[in-house]
Amino acid sequence: MSEKLHQLKEILGEVSDLQHAQSVLDWDQNVNMPPGGSEARGQQLATLGKIAHEKSTSDEVGKLIADLKNEFPDADTDEGALIRVAARDYDKATRVPAKFVARQAIATSKAFEAWIEAKSKSDFSIFRPHLEQVVELVQEYISFFPPADHPYDTLLNDYEPGMKTAEVQEIFNALRPKQVKLIKAIKSARQVKDNFLLKKYNEKKVWDFGEAVITKFGYDWTRGRQDKAPHPFQTTFSVDDTRITNRFEDGNPLATLFSAMHESGHAMYEQGSNPAYERTPLAGGTSLAVHESQSRMWENLVGRSLPFWEHFFPALKKTFPAQLDGVSVKSFYKAINKVESSFIRVNADEATYNLHVMLRLELEIGMVEGKFAVKDLPEIWNEKMNDYLGIIPPNDAQGVLQDVHWSSGLMGYFSTYALGNLVSAQLWEKINKDIVDLDDQIRKGKFDALLSWLRGKIHVHGRKYDPQDLVQKVTGSKIDSAAYVRYLTNKFSAIYGL
């Protein structure tokens, strides 16, 4: 190995260690930490963030990257890709002062605790001053970068490298009328029954069933675990320590099952990253949209499919005989795919889910532009919910306070959820061409071939390829809505007899 490449990897490895230590503290804050620890935790995160930032933006790193660009000009090699991604990360990091990183860590740690309290009390006023500070910090962050076509481009690029706000808006503008047309057609059809999903289900039994499912998927428990948190998420400390969290809702008990599938999709992506990329900028997923394509694929294209439940429903019925008495597998399949406007994004059906995301994108762009004031968000949220889905949340907890992302300063993130849906369908069409008996395999509870395909085509590459390039490489086209529209139309036309 080149001596300079070795030196760069050593430094970036230490940065990776510090960032993963931050992730451990963040995971603990969500899972174990008492509320009183938030201020100290914020300071700890700020210290680690400051050290990592200073180390990653040193002149030494900059000089090594500049020298290595000439030594490894071929971006298709692992070395060339590492230099390209490291250079991009370095350019971005050097624009952001270490003091800002520390301030942001402290502010978001306090904002997270305020969000938990505000949501539990359904009182936006508790969260408002913290969110106002978060938005100010986001706007300050944007100011560190050269003017873009739109200020939101800077935020979007953190999660979806290379994509522009205008591109996302164009994709969404083409998709929205097609989804609205489908939803209207469904509303005119006879609604499916799902009352048996809303009965009382034993929390531990649901939790255990979900763990049994994701074990069959291929989630490696020797390198992962599942814990409770206010909001389900996945986090990575290394390729050999990739964890998920989940929650249980009395009013929607089986959501725990689908959340387990969803988060395991993220985790299996991380577990499949090339071990050689560990402690380098190439480790992990290439973008949030590609990451979301994995979680939504396992949750929906697999977990809400009829072949899947033809295998798992007998076991579920045996686990919950009273709740599912007299329910057939086809009735259950239709019920878990019921299309209905709902308040909570993470529990939304596939036909309406993207509208939740489009709403959030509109609000984030409005906040970044200064068009929407934080104090007005609950009212604006409710108006947009009525416009997009024809319903108005009864309280802040089911409305503007439902998502954790803004408390962590994660703006620019939400659109990747919908983009991930599109990518999942594009990949699914290619997978079904390559694995012609996939439905039969799923019907038998066999997922090895599917996971192996994803490992070889997506997971192993880590961040080596930019998202659009990876999707093009695997499917033959860049991110596009056509496959997803075909998927939704075929699936729900059959369920609702359209």
Contacts of 59-68 spanning 24+ positions with Cβ under 8 A: 60/7, 60/11, 61/8, 61/11, 61/12, 61/86, 61/90, 62/90, 62/94, 64/4, 64/7, 64/8, 64/11, 65/8, 65/90, 67/4, 68/2, 68/4, 68/5, 68/8
Look over the chain and give the mean of its residue pLDDT values, rounded to a whole number: 95
Q: Are residues 61 and 116 in the same domain?
A: yes
**95 and 170 housed in the same domain:** no
Residues 95 and 128 in one domain: yes
Domain end marker among 147, 173, 202: 147
Q: Do 289 and 335 share a structural domain? A: yes
C-alpha–C-alpha distance, residues 376 and 369, integer Å: 14
pLDDT greater than 80 at residue 1? no
User: pLDDT at position 75, please?
Assistant: 83
Q: What length does the chain have?
A: 498
pTM of the model: 0.91
Domain around 62: 3-147
**Within-domain flag for 158:** no
User: Sorting pLDDT into bands at 50, 70 and 90, what band is 104?
Assistant: very high
Same domain, yes or no: 129 and 209: no
Q: Is residue 160 part of a domain?
A: no
- Residues 6 or more apart whose CB falls under 8 angstroms from that of 374 comprise 128, 131, 132, 135, 367
Q: DSSP per residue over 317-334, as a string?
A: HHHSTTTTTT--HHHHHH
What dihedral do alpha carbons 355, 361, 363, 364 form, nearest 10°? Answer: 160
| Residue-wise DSSP of 239-277 | TTEEEEEE---TTSTTHHHHHHHHHHHHHHHHHTS-GGG
| pLDDT at site 231 | 84
- From 55, 87, 49, select the one nearest 68 (Cα to Cα): 87
The mean pLDDT value for 60-69 works out to: 96
- Last residue of a domain, which of 115, 147, 179? 147
| Same domain membership, residue 364 and residue 312 | yes
pLDDT tier at 347, thresholds 50, 70, 90 = confident
**pLDDT the model gives residue 38:** 87
Q: Is the pLDDT of residue 98 over 90?
A: no
Confidence at 121, pLDDT banded by 50, 70, 90: very high
Catalytic annotation present for 263: yes
Same domain, 98 and 214: no
185 belongs to a structural domain: yes
| 371, 248: one domain | yes
- 402 with 362, same domain? yes
pLDDT average, residue stretch 38-57: 92
Number of Cβ atoms within 10 Å of the Cβ of 16: 20
Look at residue 400 in the predicted model and tell me its pLDDT: 97
The catalytic position among 113, 160, 167, 263 is 263
Segment 419-429, tens digit of pLDDT = 999 999 999 99
Q: 444 φ, ψ to 5°?
A: -95, 5
For residue 234, the SS3 value is strand
104 and 172 share one domain: no
For residue 177, give the CATH number of its domain: 1.10.1370.30
What SS3 class is residue 111? helix
Same domain assignment for residues 100 and 220: no
Residue 157 lies in a domain: no
pLDDT band per the 50, 70, 90 thresholds, residue 370: very high
Average pLDDT value for residue range 330-356? 94
Domain for residue 153, yes or no? Answer: no
Give the model confidence (pLDDT) of 284-328 as tens digits.
999 999 999 999 999 999 999 999 999 999 999 999 999 999 999
Looking at residue 230, what is its pLDDT?
Answer: 87
User: Residue 39 above 80 pLDDT?
Assistant: yes
pLDDT band at residue 162 using 50, 70 and 90 as cut-offs:
confident
Residues in Cβ contact with 303 at an 8 Å cutoff, skipping those fewer than 6 apart = 213, 258, 261
Percent of the chain with pLDDT over 70: 100
Secondary structure in 3-state letters for 32-97? CCCHHHHHHHHHHHHHHHHHHHHHHCCHHHHHHHHHHHHHCCCCCCHHHHHHHHHHHHHHHHHCCC
Name residue 228's beta-bridge partners.
246
Verify that 113 and 194 share a domain, yes or no: no
Mean pLDDT of 169-186: 93
The answer to whether position 156 is within a domain reads no
Q: Is residue 155, in this structure, part of any structural domain at all?
A: no
In a domain, 152, yes or no: no
Percentage of the residues of the chain whose pLDDT score is greater than 90: 94
The answer on pLDDT for 25 being more than 80 is yes
**Given pLDDT bands bounded at 50, 70 and 90, which one contains residue 132?**
very high
- Please report which confidence band the pLDDT of residue 461 belongs to, taking 50, 70 and 90 as the band edges: very high
Give per-residue pLDDT as tens, 199-258. 999 999 999 999 999 999 999 999 999 999 988 999 999 999 999 999 999 989 999 999
Extract the tokens encoding 447.
């997922």
The number of domains in the chain is 2
Neighbouring C-beta atoms of residue 379, cutoff 10 Å: 13
Of the three residues 91, 119, 147, the one that is the final residue of a domain is 147
